[in-house]
Structure formats: structure tokens, C-alpha cells
Amino acid sequence: MKRGKKNSAAGDPLTSSDTRTGYSELNVMMKPSLSSIKSMGLLLAVLMVASVMFSLSVVLRDPPSDDDVVETESASSVLQIRLHQDDGLSEKKEQLGDVNLVPSFDKGSCLSRYEASLYRKESPFKQSSYLDNRLHRYEDLHTRCGPFTRSYNLTLDKLKSGDQSDGEVSACRYVIWLNSNGELGNRMLGLASAFLYALLTNRVLLVELGLDMADLFCEPFPNTSWFLPLEFRLNSLFKEQSLLLNSGNPMVAYRHVVRDSRDQQKLFFCEESQVLLEETPWLILKADSFFLPSLFSVSPFKQELQKLFPEKETAFHFLSRYLFHPTNVVWGLITRYYRAYLARADQIIGIDIGVSESGNDQFQHLIDQILACGTRHKLLPEVEKQRHLPSSQVLNRKSKAVFISSSSPGYFESIRDVYWENPTVMGEIISVHKPSHKDYQKTPRNMESKRAWAEIYLLSCSDVLVVTSSWSSLVEVAHGLGGLKPWVLNKAENGTAHEPYCVRAR
């Protein structure tokens, strides 16, 4: 998203300055030369030389760097091809340029911000310029109010004294997102929702570090930090949860937002409680769920949301692309995997299987359904079970990489074996991959969450996504990041699936 913005805004310094000087020279030359035929000839000659020089410069120029000009679809597919063919080239390309973009970021500290377009498809949606503006305004606000700024110190002092009246007033208000250290997908959905809430209420979002946040995500806002400073002692300020709930300190409020329809939950999204919260500089928010859609029902936010996201469904897509940039460590996991297993395929098919292996029957039924869905919609090729064509007879050299995300290895092995033991009808080459065998979603240790993040990101790089359920948080994040419309398997009745095996998610 950032990428799209700077592409259209900054453009390629080389070409744009080239053409600009080209034009001005022509203008200068045109006025005196119009008088005589002789100088017309001269002009022609100059034009010819110029055009030859221009084509030469196009030919000799380095391959387009990823911030080049308007990155049209064809340009990005050229990049894709280049990446597939020669990693050395693309590496060189990555080192070029980029310097002029987002100057407040140090490129080396967060490579994914600059290299994402090499791996992930361009967004199929257009970000509204209004959202662009609002994000810029938010960045300014965050820089003004971020940790250890004067305003932050001032507001923090007031929190400690619990008194709004004395001293200077600070214009800064905050929403602190509490980190549950729970499942990564849920946390990302909750955090993106909290950011939209901050945007809508002109608050500054501060993120509790937790065990791993700094290992997973780059700073999203330039020249400041979104992490709640460790000095901010949540625990010592409010010793107990009950204090948080009802602290009597007018400077702070605590809200726990969950994705259900209990009364307390509804209360948060009603206009009156939003008005009440406006006066409170510190809002501590515990939210591990995707409450973003509920914001669309809060009447004071409706108009603004309509302007930010003319297409409501794109809200998480844009926000997640803006907020979530993998750190260099995670980016290493993503890019090494991508280059080793996925980059050379003509098409990448991501499959998320959110079902653990259960009874033998159900297991085989699910495999059958995935394959039936895949072949029915031409996502996966059919296999030839009778005529075993030797591979030398292969006509179609197209290759597809199937990337499987699943907590149990059985599904991966079965699908791989189908394409290993049988040739495909048209001869496509199918490779099947699965990055991890660990059930890491349930054990949020450090490397585990990095791998989970890498897996989510890789899924979002698929060309096509097939999922067993659209309700998994991992799937929600992956298809949001990728801007993909996943195929969702229909719930099988009594274990056996029928047509339609899967439907396109909205």
C-alpha cells in the first residue's frame, strides 16, 4: 500500500528527470528553429539523435527497481519473471534506488517495507486519497505525541497525578493496545482494529510489547515508535484488573472488546460511551479479535469510514498492508522459503487446512474435497490414474507450487503423494510444500510466532487461496494482506462432500 502510494507520487527519478530535460531542450530549440527549413532539418536530426539516445538509455539502464514509475501489472509481472529466472539480478535491483522514498525510514532496518512487491502481488484495490491523507495526518500526530515527546511526558504526568486540572493541557490522547501474547492471527486482527479506532478518534496507538512484538513487526510510523515504553508500568500503575475496570482515575479508562454480542461489548460501540471516552486521555484496550467491522456500526464514525474506505471490505486489506511489515529476521524466513520453493513456479496455490487430523474417513474425505474443488475450478490439475505417461512425454511445462499451511502433516503428505504417484493429464509439474510440522499456533514461543508470521505472509503471496474455513484468523489475515478472494470448502454433510465443493468467499 505504501508502495502503491510512493509509486504514483514519487515516480522514477531517472525517467522523469530525463524527460523533463528533454522537453525543455526541445522548447528552447524550437523557437529559433521554426524560421527556416535548414533549422527544421537540424531539429529533425536532433530529434533522431535524442530518440536513439533515449532508446539506448532505456536498454542500458539497470533493470527497473521496485520503486520504478507506475508499477503496472505488466511491470510487476516482468519483475516476477526476473525474480524467477535469476535471483542475482533481482538482488541487484533491490539494492538500487529506493533511497528517495520514505526518507524517515532507515531502509536497512526494515527491508520488507521495500521489497514486498517482489513477492506479493500488487494490491487489486485502489487506496482512496482520503485514506492517504488521513494516514499522513496520523503519522504527524504520532510523531508529535509519541513516546518521550513533551506532550507524552505531560500526559503521563497527569495520569500519575490523576488530575486533569493542574498544569498545561496536552492535546494528545492515547489508546494502549494490551498484548495477550495469544494466537498471532487474532492479535493482528485486534491490533489493526485498534489502529482504525485510534485513527477515527484521533488517538495515538501504543502497543504493549509483549513477548515478541518487536521481533515480528517493524515500526510502521516514521521517526517514532508505536511501542509502549517499558517505563510505562501498567502493572504498578494499576495493580489489579479490578482497578483498571473502575480505577476512579478520570485520566484512564479500560475496555475489553470481544467479538460477541454481550451487553458490555455493545456498550463500547454505542455513541454515548464513545462520547464519554472522548474526555479520557488514556484508553487501555484489550482486544484480541477483529472488532473492526463493529466500528462501521458506530454512528459518529460512519461518515468518516465511508470516506476512508469507499469499499468497506478493503479496510483490513489497506490497514494490514500499512501496519504489518515483517522484521528483517522474519523477512529472511519468508524470502528464503519463497526463493527456494515457490519462486520458480508459474502459479502459487496456497491451501490452508484449519482442521486437525481426525478419523480416517473424514481425513480422506477432506483430501478428496480439496482436490475436487481444485480441479473443478481449474486451480489444481487433474491426475491421470490409468495411463502413466512417462515424464519425457510431458507437453505442458507449466509448473505450480502448492503451499500448504496445516498444523498436521498428514494432509500435506497425501496431497504431495497424489501428484508424485500420478502424472497430471496435461503434464503440469506440481510441487507441494509445507513449511512447518509443528503445531506452533498453540505454543507462542519466540521462533514459533516468527514462523507463524512467515507462514501467514507466504500464504498471502499465493496467486490462489483455498481454505477449509474462512473463520480462521490466520486465513483472515493472509487473505486480507494478499487482497485475495479465497475459495472456501463447503461443509461436508456426513463426511462426504458434494458439488459445489467450494465457493468463492466474498
Q: Output the smallest distance, CB 289 to ligand NAG, in A.
A: 33
The residues, any chain, with a CB within 8 Å of residue 379's CB and separated by 6 or more, are 349, 373, 464, 466, 487
What distance in Å separates the CA atoms of residue 458 and residue 384, rounded to the nearest whole number? 30
Supply the minimum distance, in Å, between the C-beta of residue 103 and ligand NAG. 6
Read out DSSP for 148-196?
Answer: TSHHHHHHHHHHHHT-SSSS------EEEEEP----HHHHHHHHHHHHH
Nearer to ligand NAG, 225 or 347 (CB): 225
List Cα–Cα distances, 460 to 349, 407, 466, 487, in angstroms: 10, 17, 11, 14
Judged by CB, which is closer to ligand NAG: 92, or 137? 137
The runs of H, that is alpha helices, within 34-101 are 37-60, 73-85, 87-95
Beta strands in 386-462, from DSSP E residues, in sequence order: 399-406, 429-433
CB of 231 to ligand NAG, least distance (A): 6
Supply 285's cell numbers: 484496550
174 — phi, psi (to 5°)? -130, 155
- Closer CB to ligand NAG, 144 or 344, in the complex: 144
Q: Cell match 511445462: residue?
A: 397
The whole-angstrom separation of Cα 279 and Cα 165 is 12
> Which one, 160 or 312, has the nearer CB to ligand NAG?
160
Whose Cβ is closer to ligand NAG: residue 151's or residue 431's?
151
Judged by beta carbon, residue 104 or residue 306, the one nearer ligand NAG is 104
Task: Name the pairing type of β-strands 399-406 and 429-433.
Answer: parallel
In this complex, which beta carbon is closest to ligand NAG, that of residue 8 or of residue 149?
149
Bridge partners (DSSP) listed for residue 182: none
Please count the other Cβ atoms lying within 10 Å of the Cβ belonging to residue 134: 16
**Residue 366 Cβ, how far from ligand NAG at the closest point, in Å?**
17
Q: Facing residues of 326 across strands? A: 217
Q: Which is nearer to ligand NAG, 168 or 421 (CB)?
A: 168
Helix (H, G, I), strand (E, B) or coil at 432: strand
Interface residues with ligand NAG (CB under 6 A) are 103-104, 148-150, 153, 223, 493-494
> Which of 72, 223 has the CB closer to ligand NAG?
223
Q: How far is the C-alpha of 196 from the C-alpha of 376, rounded, in Å?
A: 39
CA atoms within 13 A on the CB side of 116: 23
What is the C-alpha to C-alpha distance for residues 279 and 20, in angstroms, rounded to an integer? 52
Q: How far is the CB of 234 from ligand NAG (least distance, A)?
A: 16
- For the bound state, the minimum distance from the C-beta of residue 152 to ligand NAG, rounded and expressed in Å, comes to 7
What is the smallest separation between the CB atom of 252 and ligand NAG, expressed in angstroms? 18
Q: How far is the CB of 497 from ligand NAG (least distance, A)?
A: 11
Q: Please, where are the H alpha helices in 292-408? A: 292-295, 299-308, 315-323, 328-337, 360-376
Give the position of cell 507466504. Answer: 458
Shortest spacing between CB 80 and ligand NAG, in angstroms: 33
Query: In terms of CB distance, is 166 or 493 closer to ligand NAG?
Result: 493
Instruction: Show Cβ contacts of residue 76 under 8 Å, excluding neighbours closer than 6 positions.
Output: 117, 121, 122
Which is it for the CA torsion 437, 441, 447, 452, positive or negative? positive
Residue with cell 490497514: 319
Cα torsion 202, 102, 188, 310: sign: positive
Least Cβ distance, residue 149 to ligand NAG (angstroms): 6
* CB-nearer residue toward ligand NAG: 223 or 356: 223
Q: Is the Cβ of residue 263 or residue 493 nearer to ligand NAG in the bound state?
A: 493
Query: Least distance from C-beta 147 to ligand NAG, angstroms?
Result: 9
Q: Which residues lie closer than 8 Å to 39 by C-beta, 6 or more apart? A: 32, 33
> Shortest Cβ distance from residue 371 to ligand NAG (Å)?
21
DSSP 229: P
